[in-house]
Structure 1
Amino acid sequence: MNHAPPPARLGFLYPGHAAEDDYPLMGSMVQPPAEVTLIHTEFLEDAHTVEALSEMGSVGRLSQGAEALAGSEIESVMWTSTSASFVLGLEGIRQQIDALEKLLGVPASTTAMAFARAVKTIDAKRVAIAATYPKDVAQRFREFLQHFDIEVVHLASRGIITAAEVGTLGKDEVINFALANTREDADALLIPDTALHSAAWLTDLEQATGKPVLTANQVSFWEALRLCGKLTPQSGLGHLFEEAP
């Protein structure tokens, strides 16, 4: 008699309000469905600037959010901001992860680290990036990926300042943005910004571009499952989820 594995219990710390509904959606798309607990973290300013992102991703802000997850029986926790992890560099990310693991006693990671792992998992050597951020912030994502010997062959920045505005972009705009920045010499397209909706359109994005597409919310959810040992092949969530871990 086969017993279905118990559902994964995943915790997400998400700054503000933009595309957080991607997480319960992905929770319902995997088999068995995952239990998603999402906490909105606070910050001083909704802006894709290095200063604002550094405050947003500070250990103090993450610790505040983590307190709301204490006792929730989650099996892993993610800081789901790409930019408010990579702007702090590898040492800053290590501090974020250490703080969350100490506070909650479960494995932790960040969206930036999830991107690095996901790129390696699909064996992409060269990538194109379609970033919604301003140019200086997008450039820091390129620098972050270079630590992992990931070559960036194309980097586009849409120059949107606030996460709230990014969250209003619809399916056609996101697919057109992806298409405009797909490159023949790239093994995959990266779309970093957890404020951008993508979960419902992952199959459409890959069909349109003809490439594996990695989006911020997708890699965050994948990493959360991987951390708690409950990552299994799934359909409908892009190339990344189709491979056995």
Structure 2
Amino acid sequence: MLQPDGRATKARIGVLVPHMELVAESEFAAMAPAGVSIHAARVPLGPFGPHRETRPTDIREMVSAFAKPPDVDRAAAMLAAAPLNVIVFAFTSSSYLLGADADASLKTRLEENTGGIPVVIQCAAAVAALRAVGAQRPALVHPPWWPDVLDEWGVAYFRDQGFDVAGHGTAKLPSHQGEVDAVKLADWIAMHVPTQADSVFLGGSGLRTIGTIQELEAELCRPVITANQAAFWYAIGLAGVAVSSKSYGQLFDMDVP
């Protein structure tokens, strides 16, 4: 009997990620239904060397450089050489810093390099996801390793998109990326989301969060949106593939605009 060989019979989704990151592509793969494959291209991000060793750098310069030519444009063009249905720009920090207008310009520029393959900008997908579930007052939770200024940029980004941010901050957990335990993360979020928040947004493509969505939605009785979940939802919708699983939140009951 022939065995499954990973062939993408429904859709192929590309994802542009920082060169040292593994979370976005693995979370996409976890959410992908049978017949959907995930293909990542790595884009250099500032000061990170082997084993995530960091060197001093200006956070504004590092974050904005990730979204500028030529590296991300070249990576998008290389991904587009494969027969993909859609490509995701999986990075929230540059959107927080540069704003939604810059996101729109980035999308246009990258699509000039992809030969027409549509590009999903992660933060734009997050905005669409929050609107799809009827959110107006989200609480924002960001990675433990983020500096406060990134969290503040995130608040400004969502307020500029018309949301009344009900609460925000970085999760007060061990700051090394690999040490963020899903159970502890879910517990921390459940304890710290303010009652006036009508939804929760977990930002940062490098924070592993999708395993917490179902439990948090059940406990909080509110929609939970994550950066990678929103980007995948938007991408899979553009690809025309239905996702019926309830494991990754009520968002997948909603249509992509």
**Which category of TM-score, normalised to the shorter sequence, fits these structures?**
0.7 to 0.9
Query: Would the alpha carbon gap of residues 60 and 231 (structure 1) be closer, same or farther in structure 2, given more than 3 Å must change?
Result: farther
Q: Does the 8 Å CA contact 2:142/2:171 hold for their aligned counterparts?
A: yes
Query: Would the alpha carbon gap of residues 51 and 209 (structure 1) be closer, same or farther in structure 2, given more than 3 Å must change?
Result: farther
| Residue range with higher mean Cα deviation, 114-123 or 169-178 | 169-178
Counterpart position of 2:101 = 91
Counterpart position of 2:166 = 153
Q: Distance in 2 between matches of 1:24 and 1:102?
A: 26
Structural mapping, 1:60-71, within 5 Å: 60-71=70-81
- Asked whether 1:49 is paired with 2:59, we answer yes
Question: Per-residue displacement from partner, 1:53-105 (whole Å, max 9, x unpaired)?
Answer: 11122232211221330221111111001112221222321222112211111
Query: Would the alpha carbon gap of residues 66 and 143 (structure 1) be closer, same or farther in structure 2, given more than 3 Å must change?
Result: same
Q: Distance in 2 between matches of 1:23 and 1:232?
A: 12
| Residue range with higher mean Cα deviation, 93-102 or 222-231 | 222-231
| Residue range with higher mean Cα deviation, 60-69 or 223-232 | 223-232
- Asked whether 1:14 is paired with 2:17, we answer yes
Structural mapping, 1:68-217, within 5 Å: 68-104=78-114, 105-132=116-143, 133-158=146-171, 165-217=176-228
| Residue range with higher mean Cα deviation, 235-244 or 115-124 | 235-244
- Asked whether 1:26 is paired with 2:31, we answer yes
Q: Distance in 2 between matches of 1:169 and 1:61?
A: 29
Q: Distance in 2 between matches of 1:210 and 1:178?
A: 13
Q: Distance in 2 between matches of 1:200 and 1:234?
A: 13
Gaps of 5+ in 1: 1-5
Query: Would the alpha carbon gap of residues 159 and 81 (structure 1) be closer, same or farther in structure 2, given more than 3 Å must change?
Result: farther
Query: Would the alpha carbon gap of residues 136 and 34 (structure 1) be closer, same or farther in structure 2, given more than 3 Å must change?
Result: same
Query: Would the alpha carbon gap of residues 240 and 152 (structure 1) be closer, same or farther in structure 2, given more than 3 Å must change?
Result: same
Q: Does the 8 Å CA contact 2:202/2:209 hold for their aligned counterparts?
A: no
Could you tell me the TM-score, scaled by structure 2's length?
0.83
Q: What is the SS of the residue equivalent to 1:217?
A: helix
- Could you tell me which amino acid in structure 2 is paired with residue 156 of structure 1? G
Q: Distance in 1 between matches of 2:216 and 2:60?
A: 29
Q: Distance in 2 between matches of 1:83 and 1:214?
A: 17
Could you tell me the TM-score, scaled by structure 1's length?
0.86
Q: Distance in 1 between matches of 2:106 and 2:172?
A: 26
- Alpha-carbon shift at residue 189 of structure 1 (Å): 0.5
Give 1 or 2 for the bigger CA radius of gyration: 2
Q: Does the 8 Å CA contact 2:214/2:246 hold for their aligned counterparts?
A: no
Q: Does the 8 Å CA contact 2:87/2:120 hold for their aligned counterparts?
A: yes
Counterpart position of 1:3 = none
Gaps of 5+ in 2: 1-8, 49-56
- Could you tell me which amino acid in structure 1 is paired with residue 12 of structure 2? R
2:40 aligned to 15, 38, 41, which one? Answer: 38
Query: Would the alpha carbon gap of residues 55 and 168 (structure 1) be closer, same or farther in structure 2, given more than 3 Å must change?
Result: farther
Q: Does the 8 Å CA contact 1:192/1:216 hold for their aligned counterparts?
A: yes
Q: What is the SS of the residue equivalent to 1:151?
A: coil
- Alpha-carbon shift at residue 110 of structure 1 (Å): 1.2
Q: Alignment RMSD, CA only?
A: 2.4
Q: Distance in 2 between matches of 1:129 and 1:235?
A: 22
| Residue range with higher mean Cα deviation, 228-237 or 148-157 | 228-237
Q: Distance in 2 between matches of 1:181 and 1:57?
A: 32
Q: Distance in 2 between matches of 1:91 and 1:197?
A: 27
Q: Does the 8 Å CA contact 2:80/2:117 hold for their aligned counterparts?
A: no
